Amino acid sequence: MKVVKGFPADPEGTYQLKVINLMKHAIRNFARQEIVSRKMDGTLFRYTYGESYERMQRLANALQSIGIKVGDRVGVLAWNHHQHYEIYFGLPGTGAVMVSLNLRLTPQDLSYVVNHSGTKYIIVDEDLINVAESIAPLCKKLKGYIIITEKDLSEIITQLKPVYSYEKLLSKALAVYNWPNLDENSAYAACYTTGTTGKPKGVYYSHRNVYIQAMMFAAQLPMSLNDVVFQLVPMFHVLGWSKPQAATYAGAKLIFSGRWNLDDLEELTDVMVQEKVTVSGAVPAVFMAMLEFIRKMENKPDLSGTRLICGGSEPPIALMRGFWEECGGEIIHSYGSTEAMAITTLNFFKPWLKKELSEDNLWNLKKKQGTIVSGLDVKIVDEHGDELPHDGKLSGEILLRGPWITRSYYNAPETKENFTEDGFFKSGDAGSLDSEGYLKITDRIKDVIKSGGEWISSIDMENALVSHPVVLEAAVVGIPHPKWDERPLVLIVLREGCESTSKDEIREHLSKVFAKWQLPNEILFVDSIPRTSVGKLNKKAIRMEYKNLYIKNQK
Amino acid sequence: MKVVKGFPADPEGTYQLKVINLMKHAIRNFARQEIVSRKMDGTLFRYTYGESYERMQRLANALQSIGIKVGDRVGVLAWNHHQHYEIYFGLPGTGAVMVSLNLRLTPQDLSYVVNHSGTKYIIVDEDLINVAESIAPLCKKLKGYIIITEKDLSEIITQLKPVYSYEKLLSKALAVYNWPNLDENSAYAACYTTGTTGKPKGVYYSHRNVYIQAMMFAAQLPMSLNDVVFQLVPMFHVLGWSKPQAATYAGAKLIFSGRWNLDDLEELTDVMVQEKVTVSGAVPAVFMAMLEFIRKMENKPDLSGTRLICGGSEPPIALMRGFWEECGGEIIHSYGSTEAMAITTLNFFKPWLKKELSEDNLWNLKKKQGTIVSGLDVKIVDEHGDELPHDGKLSGEILLRGPWITRSYYNAPETKENFTEDGFFKSGDAGSLDSEGYLKITDRIKDVIKSGGEWISSIDMENALVSHPVVLEAAVVGIPHPKWDERPLVLIVLREGCESTSKDEIREHLSKVFAKWQLPNEILFVDSIPRTSVGKLNKKAIRMEYKNLYIKNQK
């Protein structure tokens, strides 16, 4: 995209936006602000921004001492804790690139990420050593491993080598480091995105990308030094949805969740209440479980003013109303992707809509993905790439462009098909924008069912299906049809004891929300639905398996 | 300053930060937000962001229609109103440069600014035509004038030519404009700074400078779409202290004050109360007068949550307490300069200081300039350029560097002495930073009195003097002394009826706050004190006039 040069403002060049500055400036003003980190045994470790920054400088010196240089890639395989936070700043501050390793990937995918990125070292949590061991034989260029542990290395039995102790390296290093004046377009971190097909694709975020997004998030949420930010989103997921960086910019108190799964949510809810959390983020399932614990509490906590960023999928109204009515907490729907660095929308009410809309309509509005945050360009385009009006009805592919949205995959041919020449990322999501700017995602473009020139949302139908009490899981795909191009097919896993449910019962349930022509031609009761390695419905596999169903049947 | 290139993040280049995007993205989400503009007759004009943006596009087309191109400089000589706001975006959006013309400059200085910047056109308010006429004969390269008026051009008698009508140009222009993809380092606007010596010096702000500062201000104040921002600071002063841009980023309601002087403050206070203003900015004298009106109101307004940015000089505690106690409004001290785009500090309390400090100490803390906002680097250096510790005691020159701080004057030899090689602006202000990061300005470096190796703040002494009831005005300068290098000299204008005051009375008053060795050697009662064209104490002239006083007297 052509750039027009105007009158030159400053011949002396520009000041570079480096992520380490978020921390440097924070400690100038907020050195005494607290950071809390939940340890493996559930106890809480506490220190300050000032103490953390000292360890970041030690880390930078330590990395240099083992030979890590500007531009080197270093993998991180770790839970949410204060050391991971130190790595967020101390590692890229040296000019090296932090490669976020998703500990839930298969060894095949994970080793692909390590090899494709040219990762030289991996920093790994003690209890994730087995994950590192599973890929070590596949990654010949790895030079070493830094283990985050409170133990002495001699107590740790591993096939990895050479190994260093994170704490030992830090204790031997100097506590002062002179950060290089990095070009802001240098890579800060790499996150690999895993689809249902093909190899993981590398998205490399620059220091500039991360810096500007941190400012945006702090401004638009907003966050201040009076906030308490609970880091629940795994920090290996799209930079932990940007909260550690934005909180640092704002000087907010930070709480790291430690290692957790759904069984720990009662304990984490207690932490949230005890530490008076005001900002957090998670997927709906996590907040749903937390709400259940809050419902059971005898003394309801006061979470008024607390903003819970909810992404990944649409938060149900019951969840949003539940938090609001039980304890005054507000769920804020947000939408994003790896390529767009997670935060592209936030759902806030506008003062005039609060006056104009009924309560029910406001809750419905809250289910939408929200308005595109200032800073980003957006387009909704039809199949020919032509822009659609913002009428809240017409649905097309969502294209995004802006100061933190990537314009390419690293060393991957998929760049050509996923990015436009004028710098837009083709999200692969279908949706509409209304006249107030609220985005509503209707489906993945590839999962939209195109029937006789009209679109049917597979996600809307799945949501309707799982709202029926007999349905445990459901998948809806479009499969080829000789007359209508595609027609919907429904797969359902019934709950135990509900095996006698009829297809007509399901069809009748759907007809409450869907027009007759949208109803599925076939409903199949199955024992299980194919899923991808990260647990998403594998619609590609379903479409493949049933591709001839309507052609054969002529339904 | 050397820039280190790391691993390249995105070979496709970066998305340019253009100021017009603040508006484009605002109207996507906040098109219905209101903008209010006080007209010459005191009535309030109201329209929306959406309507304003349409006029910005018309303006861009209109400017193009009279031949203004990318890189051209266009002067603006106008009060605070919605047309000025339209110009803030519509003019630089085309790639032209907005040259802010301070209507209080002498014709000599103003014509220097126009000629030095190469300004081609001037957009001028009808009631400022006389100012434009006073410089027209001195500015041979001016090609034309655009007059902001509700009248028909035929009703306006002026020597300026050719003249265009702002409204007429807009009405004839198309309401859709395709903004160029400007290089973010292109100049957005020029502001000229006038010292006590030499010619005005041009500071050229890039689109990037303005964009990043708008985000910072919106984040750190913070501002949101629920705010109502009252534009009191003249928009020809350092981009109106950045509120129009930050408010637009946030989607806040905007109110423009129109033409005003101190006599209008009762009316403006009413506007503030009626429109439920939550953010404004001004110098202490303005807020002082507003407070007086509020004190007299029978029904005190509720300004709780309102943040009043106070710059230019130190706000007295009486002012801050007054607003707080009368109506809950908070005065926030801020510090800046033209070169630093005004906002470099903001004075907020930290949660821990609120717990630890007594009420009196908190009010005293609030008088300080505040903490350096995140994004900026700061150094306090001694006469040799060596950095001083942040102990709240040692005072030195304040050096600033960051994403919106200029690194040079346009085409001026003063660049060499006012900027360091590693990109710091030498502010010329003397001050100290305490361990919590609060900045305290003690003096202008050139006004500091250096007596026997110690520093005496002329400003502190002036503040102490004017707090005495008999003193109308006071100036303190250091003048050469054979033994102590410099010693303080005090000039005082006494209030009417206080002519019998003795020097000893003044000296005794000072000795309550100052050590004996700091007291002035001489106190002179004078009829008036020399001031510069912009009304500041002309200390240079005073020092010149009395340079031999202590050498002769051997005091």
pLDDT (mean) for B49-58: 98
Nearest CA in chain B to A250: B220
**Angle, nearest 10°, between helix axes A317-327 and A359-367?**
120
Q: Which CATH class is domain A11-31+44-205?
A: alpha beta
Query: 3-state SS of A177-205?
Result: CCCCCECCCEEEEEEEECCCCCCCEEEEE
Residue A525 has a pLDDT of 96
Residue A195 has a pLDDT of 66
B344-399 pLDDT per residue, tens: 999 999 999 999 999 999 999 999 999 999 999 999 999 899 999 999 999 999 99
Q: How many CB atoms lie within 10 A of CB A181?
A: 16
The nearest CA of chain A is from the CA of B48 a distance in Å of 13
B15 vs A423: CB contact, 8 Å cut-off?
yes
Catalytic residue among A339, A397, A462, A486: A339
A20-32 pLDDT per residue, tens: 999 999 999 999 9
A193 is catalytic: yes
- pLDDT(A437) > 70: yes
pLDDT (mean) for A139-152: 97
- Do domains A11-31+44-205 and A372-444 share one topology? The answer is no
pLDDT (mean) for B225-250: 96
A411 near B CB under 8 A: no
| Percentage above 90 pLDDT, chain A | 86
B339 is catalytic: yes
pLDDT band at B10 (very low <50, low <70, confident <90, very high): confident
The nearest CA of chain A is from the CA of B408 a distance in Å of 6
B372 vs A7: CB contact, 8 Å cut-off?
no
B12 vs A423: CB contact, 8 Å cut-off?
yes
The nearest CA of chain B is from the CA of A80 a distance in Å of 25
Which residues in B lie closer than 8 A to residue A405 (C-beta atoms)? 15
Residue B103 has a pLDDT of 92
B6 vs A70: CB contact, 8 Å cut-off?
yes
pLDDT (mean) for B10-30: 93
Task: Reduce the DSSP state of residue A400 to 3 states and report it.
Answer: strand
A103 near B CB under 8 A: no
pLDDT band at B551 (very low <50, low <70, confident <90, very high): confident
- Give the whole-angstrom CA distance, residue A216 versus residue A222: 9
Residue B454 has a pLDDT of 81
Cα separations in angstroms, A45 against A269, A407, B74, B543: 17, 40, 58, 60
Nearest CA in chain A to B346: A29
Residue B371 has a pLDDT of 98
A355 near B CB under 8 A: no
B6 vs A219: CB contact, 8 Å cut-off?
no
Q: Which amino acid is at B260?
A: W
- Residue whose pair of structure tokens reads 């679109």 in the numeric block: A455
A522-538 pLDDT per residue, tens: 999 999 999 877 678 89
Which residues in A lie closer than 8 A to residue B225 (C-beta atoms)? 348, 350-351
B4 vs A70: CB contact, 8 Å cut-off?
yes
A9 vs B206: CB contact, 8 Å cut-off?
yes
Please give the interface size between A and B, counted as residue pairs whose CB atoms are below 8 Å apart.
232
Which residues in A lie closer than 8 A to residue B17 (C-beta atoms)? 212, 403
The nearest CA of chain A is from the CA of B146 a distance in Å of 22
- pLDDT(B533) > 80: no
- Give the whole-angstrom CA distance, residue A53 versus residue A42: 24
Domain boundaries, chain B: 14-34+45-212, 371-442, 448-553
B218 near A CB under 8 A: yes
Could you tell me if B348 and B334 are in contact, meaning their C-beta atoms sit under 8 angstroms apart?
no
- pLDDT(B499) > 80: yes
A183 near B CB under 8 A: yes
Residue A463 has a pLDDT of 87
- Return the sign of the alpha-carbon dihedral for residues B75, B78, B84, B88: positive
* Residue B147, beta-bridge partner list: B124, B165
- pLDDT(B151) > 90: yes
- pLDDT(B553) > 90: no
Task: Enter the CATH code of domain B14-34+45-212.
Answer: 3.40.50.12780
User: B 451-510 residues with CB below 8 A of A?
Assistant: none
Q: Nearest by CB to A6, which of B182, B222, B408?
A: B182
Return the structure tokens found at B90: 């519509």
pLDDT band at B452 (very low <50, low <70, confident <90, very high): confident
The nearest CA of chain B is from the CA of A46 a distance in Å of 16
Could you tell me if B4 and A95 are in contact, meaning their C-beta atoms sit under 8 angstroms apart?
yes
Q: Nearest by CB to A182, which of B6, B73, B188?
A: B6
The pTM for the full model equals 0.93
pLDDT band at A554 (very low <50, low <70, confident <90, very high): low
Tell me the H-state helices in B224-279.
238-241, 243-250, 265-274
Instruction: Tell me the average pLDDT of chain B.
Output: 94
Residue B1 has a pLDDT of 73
Catalytic residue among B184, B330, B339, B462: B339
For residue A23, is it left (φ>0), alpha (ψ between -120 and 50) or beta?
alpha
B95 vs A351: CB contact, 8 Å cut-off?
no
- Give the whole-angstrom CA distance, residue A492 versus residue A529: 8
In chain A, what is the straight-line distance between the N-terminal and C-terminal CA atoms, in Å? 48
pLDDT band at B535 (very low <50, low <70, confident <90, very high): confident
The nearest CA of chain A is from the CA of B451 a distance in Å of 32
- Give the whole-angstrom CA distance, residue A56 versus residue B498: 63
A455 is catalytic: yes
A269-315 pLDDT per residue, tens: 999 999 999 999 999 989 999 999 999 999 999 999 999 999 988 89
Q: Which of A374, A377, A407, A411 to mutate to test the interface with B (most CBs of B within 10 A)?
A: A374
- Give the whole-angstrom CA distance, residue A340 versus residue A403: 10
Residue A452 has a pLDDT of 84
Q: Nearest by CB to B71, which of A6, A187, A402?
A: A6
**Fold of the A372-444 domain:** Luciferase; domain 3 (2.30.38)
- Residue A390: which of A454, A438, A446, A459 has the closest Cα? A438
Instruction: Tell me the average pLDDT of chain A.
Output: 94
B455 is catalytic: yes
The nearest CA of chain A is from the CA of B380 a distance in Å of 13
Which residues in A lie closer than 8 A to residue B402 (C-beta atoms)? 15
- pLDDT(B195) > 70: no
Q: What are phi and psi of A459, to 5 degrees?
A: -70, -45
A399-410 pLDDT per residue, tens: 999 999 999 999
**Which positions ≥6 away from B400 have C-beta within 8 Å?**
B340, B344, B372, B376, B377, B378, B424, B425, B427
pLDDT (mean) for B508-534: 91
**Fold of the B448-553 domain:** GMP Synthetase; Chain A, domain 3 (3.30.300)
Could you tell me if A233 and A79 are in contact, meaning their C-beta atoms sit under 8 angstroms apart?
no
* Per CATH, domain B371-442 is 3.30.470.10: no
pLDDT (mean) for B174-185: 97
A52-109 pLDDT per residue, tens: 999 999 999 999 999 999 999 999 999 999 999 999 999 999 999 999 999 989 899 9
- Residue A276: which of A319, A320, A229, A321 has the closest Cα? A229
B14 vs A208: CB contact, 8 Å cut-off?
yes
A536 near B CB under 8 A: no
Residue A532 has a pLDDT of 79
Catalytic residue among B193, B196, B415, B420: B193
Among the ranges given (A127-131, B2-6, B217-221), the one the predictor scored with the smallest mean pLDDT:
B2-6
B270-299 pLDDT per residue, tens: 999 999 999 999 999 899 999 999 999 999
pLDDT band at B16 (very low <50, low <70, confident <90, very high): very high
Q: How many CB atoms lie within 10 A of CB B515?
A: 9
Q: How many CB atoms lie within 10 A of CB A8?
A: 14
